[in-house]
Homo-oligomer: A and B are copies of this chain.
Amino acid sequence: MICKYRFGTPLETGAVVAPRPESPLPMPRFTVTEDPLTLSCPLPEGAAVYGLGENVRGMNKRGWHYESQCTDIPHHSEDKLSLYGAHNFFLVSTEEEVFGLFVDDPGVVHFDIGYTRSDLLSVTVKSGDAWVYLIEGETEADVARQFRGLVGRSYIPPKWAFGYGQSRWGYRSEEDIRAVAEGYRSRRMALDAIYLDIDYMERFKDFTVNRETFPDLKALAADLKRDGIHLVPIIDAGVKIETGYDVYEQGVEQGLFCTDERGENFIAAVWPGQVHFPDVLNPAARRWFGRLYGRLMEQGIEGFWNDMNEPAIFYTQKNLDAAFARVEDFKGRNLNLHRYWELKALFNYLGDGPNSYHQFFHQMEQDGKLLRVRHDRVHNLYGMNMTRAASEAFDELAPGKRVLMFSRASYIGAHRYGGIWQGDNKSWWSHLQMNLQMMASLNLVGFLYTGADLGGFGCDTTEDLLLRWIAFGIFTPLMRNHCALGTREQELYRYPRWETFRDLLSLRYMLLPYLYSEYMKAALTDGLMFRPLAFDYRGDARAREVEDQILLGESAMLAPVCQQNATGRHVYLPEEMKLIRLRRAGEWTEEILPAGDHYIPVALDEVPLFLRPDRLVPIAAGDADCVMREDFDHLSLLSFVRTEAEYLLYDDDGESRDYNQQSHYTAIRLNAGGALTVAGSQTVTLPER
């Protein structure tokens, strides 16, 4: 049951697609105080709090505080309050009950989850204005499903986007891209996408291509596609201010950029130097900006990633001018610590943050009219609406077809328009575990298509970290290896153990039937593909504490090795399971383990996969070098059958948007005697393994 409460004068954010009637205050469960608006409730001992999407720390968010304020933040350390997304939904789970809270306000919202006092949860809404939804349910999954019913169906990418992708900030030319393709293909290593970071553009101008370094993008895209590889370019939020650049000139002419307090186009600076921001909160600007993606689609591009859309700001012209004016005061002085800090700060805080967000304005659609709103009031909506712009345009540009789209910044509701990646993480072992934890937190707020930069974006990776990370990444819907300019090269074929990497990739393709099926069922039924153990084993207090294992779909549990130099790890099994040690497509060993605690050896070239009792995992041969060449019609099963196991397999053509056909489903039943039944409309030959 969902109850909706009004506080102050809420804005319509677009998060909710299934309107609910307003319930009268007071709301149950929470104590409400004003100035600032704060909702508090007790946290009993043992209660866990899940959700808040993209944030640091564990799946159980208890014991820290968080702030919804989309931020371009490269150091995802334990003390951070915000990352790139604003996902104001959490659920409180005790042995007795579960309820969820969604706070729909695009300004700063602060969540104190037992931080100030370990027995108290409180939510503070800076603006004082919010729609608040209280969701009561039987289980975590039930509350999550109700929430998703409220905010809409999760984005579904094309099937090829479940393949492996290689990226690096630093690919500068067609030659670089072809060398990466060759690096994988010449070693028969699977690859479905190569990502283009900012250097493909002409002076970082959106929707342009540098003709010197990429003389014929269309031909390149076509060549690669013949080889099963998609090119996926980046699109940034800021539009370069440059006379003669038609996108800039159109935006100026049609008045579609954000403006400053005088009504003039707001000047900030990002990669290209000075830019204007498309006012994506204005439907006209969304339509205009979204159609521009077509310029690249005409060249054969079928997927994009939206970046810098918190929006990230290096500096605003106003702040920069002020800093230059102030720097004079420091010259020729003996600077003590305070003055020195001021000087250091002078050019360090010119962009991201409250210091800039009050300097520009939107024409935001509210009740069918345009309302001038200062950015800080609606900051967290920018990224979502940039992605919405693209998504709505795709409906026209590629009707009935899926286009790959994922974003860095997001708000609740953005999960309808695209996925998100988990931002600019680092080559830290702790970030491999955070990748796992965030899978659960992001699924809970609707983002099913997600994954982290495998191997780590910032800092230098090591071969063993990359091996362990890829061994986890083969399970995440978005499986992308990405890293930053200046860091150690991370293409898998460059490492001494490239054959192990090739084998790990083959496992991804082998598992695709299960991964795709589970993804699609979660998307179509508002389910959770990744879940903390506690969700499925509610009565088990031990399961509640596990922060380095995760349930994947209905049949499997994952327990990656996240520690340097470890050749094994402890695992907790809430029930008897079958441990399958995967080595490569078609090669694995099986072992049945009783419920309880285990230490399991896991070599650097092994991937442990746990099967739950009476569950099945349909698999393919895993011998293709891209998704569309994998044979989904002749499958096998990983199985742990004590009496009888059933699995409902979903499959489709992977590109059209008619998801709800009966013909997409195949029912598979296997009993302990080995008898197999397959019922459904698709041809799926299933020999047991």
Evaluate contact between B568 and A597: CB separation under 8 angstroms. Answer: no
Residues on B with beta carbons closer than 8 Å to the beta carbon of A429: 78
Evaluate contact between B462 and A334: CB separation under 8 angstroms. Answer: no
Residue-wise, chain A 451-495 has the 8 Å CB interface mask toward B (1 for contact) of 000000011101111000000000000000000000000000000
Evaluate contact between B58 and A565: CB separation under 8 angstroms. Answer: yes
Evaluate contact between A564 and B79: CB separation under 8 angstroms. Answer: no
CB of A543 within 8 Å of the partner chain: no
Residues on B with beta carbons closer than 8 Å to the beta carbon of A337: 204, 270-273, 314
Residues on B with beta carbons closer than 8 Å to the beta carbon of A430: 78, 430
Residue-wise, chain A 67-79 has the 8 Å CB interface mask toward B (1 for contact) of 0000000010111
Binds B, one of A137-145, A343-351, A377-385: A343-351
- Cross-interface CB contact of A566 among B79, B324, B465, B545, cutoff 8 Å: B545
Evaluate contact between B79 and A459: CB separation under 8 angstroms. Answer: yes
Residue of chain B at shortest CB distance from A76: B77
A48 and B314 alpha carbons, distance in the complex (Å):
44
CB of A38 within 8 Å of the partner chain: no
Residue of chain B at shortest CB distance from A346: B347
Residues on B with beta carbons closer than 8 Å to the beta carbon of A459: 78-79
Residue of chain B at shortest CB distance from A315: B340
CB of A612 within 8 Å of the partner chain: no
Evaluate contact between A428 and B78: CB separation under 8 angstroms. Answer: yes
- Cross-interface CB contact of A496 among B117, B270, B324, B567, cutoff 8 Å: B117
A405 and B52 alpha carbons, distance in the complex (Å):
46
Given that A64-B462, A462-B64 are contacting pairs, would A427 and B79 also be in contact in the complex, using a CB cutoff of 8 Å?
Answer: yes
Query: Which residues in chain A, 47-81, are within 8 Å of chain B measured between CB atoms?
Result: 48, 57-58, 60, 62-64, 75, 77-79
Evaluate contact between A564 and B58: CB separation under 8 angstroms. Answer: yes
A448 and B366 alpha carbons, distance in the complex (Å):
66
A269 and B330 alpha carbons, distance in the complex (Å):
14
Residue of chain B at shortest CB distance from A572: B599
Q: How far is the CB of A591 from chain B (nearest CB, A)?
A: 16
CB of A598 within 8 Å of the partner chain: yes
CB of A118 within 8 Å of the partner chain: yes
Query: Which residues in chain A, 555-575, are within 8 Å of chain B measured between CB atoms?
Result: 563-568, 570, 572
Evaluate contact between B273 and A63: CB separation under 8 angstroms. Answer: no
- Cross-interface CB contact of A273 among B58, B336, B463, cutoff 8 Å: B336
CB of A274 within 8 Å of the partner chain: yes
CB of A327 within 8 Å of the partner chain: yes
Residues on B with beta carbons closer than 8 Å to the beta carbon of A565: 48, 58, 60, 62-63, 545, 547
Residue-wise, chain A 238-281 has the 8 Å CB interface mask toward B (1 for contact) of 00010000000000000000000000000001111110000000
Residue of chain B at shortest CB distance from A267: B334
Residues on B with beta carbons closer than 8 Å to the beta carbon of A320: 335
CB of A369 within 8 Å of the partner chain: no
CB of A331 within 8 Å of the partner chain: yes
A667 and B327 alpha carbons, distance in the complex (Å):
69
CB of A426 within 8 Å of the partner chain: yes
Evaluate contact between B327 and A77: CB separation under 8 angstroms. Answer: no
Residue of chain B at shortest CB distance from A426: B79
CB of A665 within 8 Å of the partner chain: no
18 residue pairs bridging A and B, Cβ less than 8 Å apart: A60-B565, A63-B564, A63-B565, A78-B430, A79-B428, A79-B459, A118-B464, A204-B336, A269-B335, A269-B340, A273-B334, A273-B340, A315-B335, A324-B327, A324-B330, A547-B563, A570-B599, A597-B597
Across the A-B interface, the 5 shortest Cβ-Cβ residue pairs:
A79-B459, A570-B570, A273-B336, A78-B428, A273-B334
Interface residues of A (CB under 8 A from B): 48, 57-58, 60, 62-64, 75, 77-79, 115, 117-118, 203-204, 241, 269-274, 314-315, 320, 324, 327, 330-331, 334-337, 339-340, 343-344, 346-348, 426-430, 458-460, 462-465, 496, 542, 545, 547, 563-568, 570, 572, 597-599
